[in-house]
Amino acid sequence: MLTVRQIEVLTCLCRGKGNKEIASDFGLSVKTVKTHISAIFKVLGVVNRTQAVITAQRMGMLIH
């Protein structure tokens, strides 16, 4: 199960945002963003951003 923040980060990934931009958007460090992304990958069972986006779309997880 993803946290609210992880869903927000995943939504940014789906919009093509980079780690620095995501960090700036939420007032986080880049390291924290990377930690969220790693957790997202683990929960979704994927190994990269593209797979995460595709999986999230297939699961209907994204808020547009």
Q: Where are the domains of the chain?
A: 4-58
Give me the amino acid identity at 53.
V
Give me the residues of the chain with pLDDT under 70, please.
Answer: 62-64
Report the predicted TM-score, pTM, of the whole model to 2 decimal places.
0.91
pLDDT of the residue at 32:
98
E-only strand ranges, the chain: none
Residue 26, SS3 per DSSP:
helix
pLDDT of the residue at 61:
78
pLDDT of the residue at 63:
57
CATH fold for the domain made of 4-58: Arc Repressor Mutant, subunit A (1.10.10)
